[in-house]
Amino acid sequence: MTSKSAAAAARATVHGYPRQGQHRELKKAIEGYWKGQVTADALRGTAAGLRRRHWQQLADAGIDEVPTGDFSYYDHVLDTSVMVGAIPARHRDAVAADALDGYFAMARGNQEVAPLEMTKWFDTNYHYLVPELGPDTVFAADSARQVAEFKEAAALGLTGRPVLVGPVTYLLLAKPAPGVAAGFEPLTLLDRLLPVYAEVLADLRAAGAEWVQLDEPALVQDRTPAELNAAARAYRDLGTLTDRPKLLVASYFDRLGDALPVLAKAPVDGLALDFTDAAAANLDALAAVGGLPDKRLVAGVVNGRNIWINDLERSLSTLGTLLGLAGRVDIASSCSLLHVPLDAAAERDIDPQVARWLAFARQKTAEIVTLARGLAQGTGAITAELAANRADLASRTASALTRDPAVRARAAAVTDADVHRSAPYADRAAAQRSHLRLPLLPTTTIGSFPQTAELRTARADLRAGRIGTDAYEERIAAEIREVLAFQEKAGIDVLVHGEPERNDMVQYFAEQLTGYLATRHGWVQSYGTRYVRPPILAGDISRPEPMTVRWTAYAQSVTDRPVKGMLTGPVTMLAWSFVRDDQPLADTARQVALALRDEVGDLEANGTSVIQVDEPALRETLPLRAADRAAYLAWATEAFRLTTGGVRPDTQIHTHMCYAEFGDIVQAIDDLDADVISLEAARSHMQVARELASHGYPREAGPGVYDIHSPRIPGADEVTALLRKGLEAIPPERLWVNPDCGLKTRGWPEVRTSLENLVTAARTVRGGLSGTAS
C-alpha cells in the first residue's frame, strides 16, 4: 500500500469508553441492586441503555469503529476471568447459583467468602481484580457476554470491535491462587489458555466481528526473554488460526520496546501503539523494524489519560511520519477513555476560557475524528478546527493561571541548601529527644480518626446550606476535642487532631491552592462502583493562605502533648490529580512542594513540633519501565525534601506510606531524610522492619502493628509479640508504635479498644527494656 491510500483509509476509533454515564447511572443501579432496591432486569436494562447511548455518542461524533465488550459491571479483568472460566473454587457455588450475584461475590466477597484481591491497573488509579490461578486451573470459554455486546452494537447498525484483555497480559496480571506455592508462574498456563481464546475469537467471528482487539499493556513493561517468547508464541498460535477475525494487538501506557519486533513479526493484522509520551520511542522502534507494511497501525495520538486538549498540529505531524511506516494508519485514543471523565461541557463552573483547554472523553472523541478527517482529506478539510485549536493552546500558554512569574522565579531559585535539613540526623535526633521528651517506643496514629456519619452529615448540611459555617466549625472543633481527649486517656504519646475537616487528603489541599481546578462532574472509576473526582493541576501553584494551621493550632491549644501536623506530600498531590502536560512533572512537583514548604513553616511557627507529610503514592507512581525510575525518584525525593527541608533541627518530620512491599524503593525512602517513617506492616508480620534493617535504614520507623483494613481488634499480646519481633530488627530508640494507616474507614468501638491495646503493648515492651520505664 502506498502512503496515499493509507491516508485515504484513515479511520477513527477509541479503545474503550467511560462506563458509568453522565449522572453515574451505572453506580446507582448497581448499588441499588446490592441493596435489593433494583431488580437484576432493571440493572441489565440500565446497563444496556448506557452502552447504547455511549455507542451512539461515538457514532454521532464520527467514530467509524466502536469498541464493544469494554463495558463492565465491575472490572474488565474480572470479566476476563469469567470469559476464560477462571472462577476461584470458593466462588464456584455462588456463580453456579446465580451468575450475577456470583460475579459480585468475586468482586466484593460476602459473609462466607473473601473477594479476589484488588490492585492498581498499571500506573493508573483504576483497580482491577487479580486473577487467581494454579497448576490445577481448568479454563473454559464463555464468550456469551462478548458476543451479546457485539450483537447489540451491530443491531444499531454500528461496526463494533470487541476488546479483550490479551492472554499474555491476563496471565502476567494473575497471581497464584490461595494454597498454591508462591513460586507458581501463571504464564506457564499459556498453552492451556490459548485454545480458550481461540474459541472466543471463533465465536466473535461467527457473530460477524471483522476485527477483535487484544489488549496487551503488560508488554510495555520490562519483560524477560521468556515472557517475550510467550508473547511470540501466543500471537503465532492465535494468528495462524483458520477461523478467526482480524487481530489488533493493543499496547498503551508506554513504549513497546523489545515487544515491538516480536509483535511486528507475529501473524496478526494490526498493532495499536501509544504515541503520546512514548511517541519518540515507538517511532524509532517502528522505523527500526522497517515499519508495518502489511499491518494496520492504530495510532494512539490523543492522550486517553489526561484531560487536556490535543495539539492537533503536532499529532498530524506524527501521523504524517507514520503514514510512511504502515500499510494503513487509523487514529485513536492512546488507551481506553475509561481513565477520563465523560464530558467537559458539563463543567459550567470552570472559567470558560480555561474550560476550552479541557478535553474529556467526548471532546477527545471529536479530536480523533478531526485528525482522521485531516489525515484522509488533507488539512484543508479541518482548517477551522486547527485554527481554534491553535488559539486555545496559545491562550493556555499565555494565561496568568499557567504562568505566574512569582511562582516561577521562586522555583528557579531553589538551591541545594533548600533541600537539605540544616543539621545531620544524629544532631536532629538529639535535639528532638530533648525537645519532645518522648518515651522509648512512642505511640502515635497515622492521622485520621473515624469519619462518622455525623461528620458526613454536617458536611452535607453545610453544602446544602442547612447549617452555617459557624455551626459546622463548632462541630469540627468538638470532634477534635473528643479525639484528643480519647488519645490522652488512652495514653498515646504523639497525638493527632483526627482530620475531621478533610473530605479527602488531596482534595482538601487542592481546594485551597491557587492553580488547582475542581470539577463538578469529573468522575473517574477507581474500582467497581467507586468513582473519584481528581482535581486538576491546571496552573502554577501557590498558597494564598495557611491551609491546616488553624485546626492544628486549635488542637495543640487544648492538650499539653505534642500534636502532629498532617500534610499530603507533593508526589501524592500529583499522583491523585490530573497533571499538567505542558511542563515536566518535576516542575509541577517543585511548585507544589514550595507551597507545602510554606505550610510546614507556618505550622512550625505556630508551635507544631512534629509534622507528618504523607506520601502513600510514592511507589505507585514509579514508572513502568525500570530505565525511567531513577529520574522519577530524583524529582520525587527532591520535592519531599523541599517540602520538609526548612524546619529547625528539633522539629520532627514524619512521613507515611501504606504498603508493605517497598523493597524497590527503600533507597528512595531513605533519601527522603524524614526523621520518622510509618509503614504498613501488620499483614506481613514485621517483615518490613527486617527489610528496613537489612537496608541499614538509619532513622526512626513505625512498622504498623494494627491492620486497619480489617474490623478485627488486635489483642495486646499480639501487638506485644509484633513489637518484640520489631525490636529484633530496629533498636528501641528508633522504633515507633502505630497502626498501618489512617483510621477514617473504621468504627469508633474497634478503634478505641485497638489503640488501648496498642498502648498496653508498648508499655509492656518498654517495661522489659533494661533501665527504662514508661
Q: Which three cell numbers stand for residue 429?
A: 535526633
Q: Total binding residues for Zn ion by CB under 5 A?
A: 3
Residue 72 binding: pick among Zn ion, ligand GLN, none (C-beta 5-8 Å cut-off by kind) = none
- Residues 553-582: x/- map of binding to ligand GLN (CB under 6 A)? -------------x----------------
Q: Tell me the closest approach of the beta carbon of residue 546 to Zn ion, in angstroms.
A: 24
Q: Tell me the closest approach of the beta carbon of residue 708 to ligand GLN, in angstroms.
A: 9
How many residues does the structure list for the chain?
A: 774
CA 91/CA 288 separation, integer angstroms = 48
Which residue, 180 or 532, is less far from ligand GLN as judged by CB? 532
Options 69, 88, 115, 447; binder of ligand GLN; rule CB under 6 A: 447
Q: Tell me the closest approach of the beta carbon of residue 688 to ligand GLN, in angstroms.
A: 15
User: Do 518 and 532 contact (CB within 8 A), yes or no?
Assistant: no
Pair type for strands 676-679 and 700-703: parallel
User: Do 305 and 624 contact (CB within 8 A), yes or no?
Assistant: no
Q: Tell me the closest approach of the beta carbon of residue 596 to ligand GLN, in angstroms.
A: 14
Point out which span in 45-53, 252-260, 276-284, 657-665 binds Zn ion (CB under 5 A): 657-665
Q: Which three cell numbers stand for residue 111?
A: 459473609
Point out which span in 77-85, 477-485, 564-572, 736-744 binds Zn ion (CB under 5 A): 736-744
Point out which span in 189-197, 453-461, 622-630, 654-662 binds Zn ion (CB under 5 A): 654-662
Which residue, 618 or 727, is less far from ligand GLN as judged by CB? 618
Task: Mention every residue, 6+ apart, whose C-beta is less than 8 A from residue 373.
Answer: 62, 381, 382
**Has 54 been annotated as catalytic?**
no
Point out which span in 278-286, 322-330, 445-453, 699-707 binds ligand GLN (CB under 6 A): 445-453
Query: Does 446 participate in binding ligand GLN (rule CB under 6 A)?
Result: yes
- Residues 603-622: x/- map of binding to Zn ion (CB under 5 A)? -------------x------
Q: How many CB atoms lie within 10 A of CB 62?
A: 15
Options 171, 241, 676, 741; binder of Zn ion; rule CB under 5 A: 741
Point out which span in 232-240, 478-486, 583-591, 741-749 binds ligand GLN (CB under 6 A): 741-749
Identify the active-site residue in 76, 91, 127, 709.
709
Query: Does 658 participate in binding Zn ion (rule CB under 5 A)?
Result: yes
Point out which span in 209-217, 441-449, 513-521, 760-768 binds ligand GLN (CB under 6 A): 441-449
Q: Quick one: CA dihedral 757, 760, 762, 764, positive or negative?
A: negative
Chain-centre distance for alpha carbon 550:
31
Tell me the CA distances in angstroms from 237 to 138, 225, 232, 268, 373, one per residue in order. Answer: 19, 18, 9, 10, 36
Residue 702 binding: pick among Zn ion, ligand GLN, none (C-beta 5-8 Å cut-off by kind) = none
CA 565/CA 549 separation, integer angstroms = 8
Residue 87 binding: pick among Zn ion, ligand GLN, none (C-beta 5-8 Å cut-off by kind) = none
Cell 508498648 belongs to 762
Q: Which three cell numbers stand for residue 78?
A: 474480572
Point out which span in 248-256, 520-528, 594-602, 733-741 binds Zn ion (CB under 5 A): 733-741
Query: Does 741 participate in binding ligand GLN (rule CB under 6 A)?
Result: yes
- Residues 690-729: x/- map of binding to Zn ion (CB under 5 A)? ----------------------------------------
Please choose, from the candidates 398, 397, 375, 401, the residue with its C-alpha nearest in 3D space to the C-alpha of residue 386.
375
Q: Which residue's Cβ has the minimum distance to ligand GLN? A: 742
Tell me the Ramachandran region of residue 250: left when phi exceeds 0, alpha when psi lies from -120 to 50, beta otherwise.
beta
Tell me the CA distances in angstroms from 555 to 296, 343, 481, 561, one per residue in order. Answer: 63, 42, 7, 10
Which residue, 373 or 656, is less far from ligand GLN as judged by CB? 656
Which residue, 64 or 620, is less far from ligand GLN as judged by CB? 620
Q: Tell me the closest approach of the beta carbon of residue 502 to Zn ion, in angstroms.
A: 14
- Residues 627-656: x/- map of binding to ligand GLN (CB under 6 A)? -----------------------------x
- Residues 609-628: x/- map of binding to ligand GLN (CB under 6 A)? -----x-x------------
Which residue, 124 or 448, is less far from ligand GLN as judged by CB? 448
Which residue, 633 or 658, is less far from Zn ion as judged by CB? 658
CA 748/CA 452 separation, integer angstroms = 8
Options 339, 373, 744, 746; binder of ligand GLN; rule CB under 6 A: 744
Chain-centre distance for alpha carbon 709:
18
Which residue, 122 or 508, is less far from ligand GLN as judged by CB? 508
Which residue, 492 or 566, is less far from ligand GLN as judged by CB? 566
Query: Does 18 participate in binding ligand GLN (rule CB under 6 A)?
Result: no
Which residue, 160 or 714, is less far from ligand GLN as judged by CB? 714
Which residue, 263 or 688, is less far from ligand GLN as judged by CB? 688
Point out which span in 455-463, 528-536, 692-700, 739-747 binds ligand GLN (CB under 6 A): 739-747
Q: Tell me the closest approach of the beta carbon of residue 742 to Zn ion, in angstroms.
A: 6
- Residues 176-215: x/- map of binding to ligand GLN (CB under 6 A)? ----------------------------------------
User: Do 548 and 567 contact (CB within 8 A), yes or no?
Assistant: yes
Q: Which three cell numbers stand for residue 257?
A: 520496546
Q: Which three cell numbers stand for residue 508?
A: 482538601
Burial of residue 545, with CB atoms counted within 10 A of its CB: 0-12 exposed, 13-18 middle, 19 or more buried? exposed
Residue list 480-519, contact with ligand GLN (CB under 6 A): 499, 505
Which residue, 306 or 568, is less far from ligand GLN as judged by CB? 568
Q: Which residue's Cβ has the minimum distance to Zn ion? A: 658
Point out which span in 180-188, 191-199, 348-356, 651-659 binds Zn ion (CB under 5 A): 651-659
Question: Helix, strand, or coil here: 694?
Answer: helix
Burial of residue 259, with CB atoms counted within 10 A of its CB: 0-12 exposed, 13-18 middle, 19 or more buried? buried
User: What is the DSSP code string of 340-401?
Assistant: S-S-GGG-TTS-HHHHTTB--HHHHHHHHHHHHHHHHH-GGGGHHHHHHHHHHHHHHHH-TT
User: Do 314 and 288 contact (CB within 8 A), yes or no?
Assistant: no
Pair type for strands 292-302 and 270-274: parallel
Please choose, from the candidates 182, 304, 317, 320, the residue with its C-alpha nearest in 3D space to the C-alpha of residue 253.
304
Phi and psi torsions of 695, nearest 5°: -75, -15
CA 654/CA 428 separation, integer angstroms = 13
Q: State the DSSP H helix or E strand holding residue 762, giving kind and residue range, or none if neither.
A: helix 748-768
CA 428/CA 360 separation, integer angstroms = 48
Q: Tell me the closest approach of the beta carbon of residue 740 to Zn ion, in angstroms.
A: 7
Tell me the CA distances in angstroms from 25 to 29, 96, 561, one per residue in order. Answer: 6, 28, 48
Chain-centre distance for alpha carbon 572:
10
Which residue, 71 or 576, is less far from ligand GLN as judged by CB? 576
CA 484/CA 445 separation, integer angstroms = 12
Which residue, 327 or 739, is less far from Zn ion as judged by CB? 739
Options 578, 697, 742, 746; binder of ligand GLN; rule CB under 6 A: 742
Chain-centre distance for alpha carbon 357:
23
User: Do 307 and 360 contact (CB within 8 A), yes or no?
Assistant: yes
Q: Total binding residues for ligand GLN by CB under 6 A?
A: 13
Query: Does 77 participate in binding Zn ion (rule CB under 5 A)?
Result: no
CA 238/CA 228 separation, integer angstroms = 15
Binding residues for ligand GLN (CB under 6 A): 446-448, 499, 505, 566, 614, 616, 656, 658, 741-742, 744
Catalytic residues: 709
Binding residues for Zn ion (CB under 5 A): 616, 658, 741
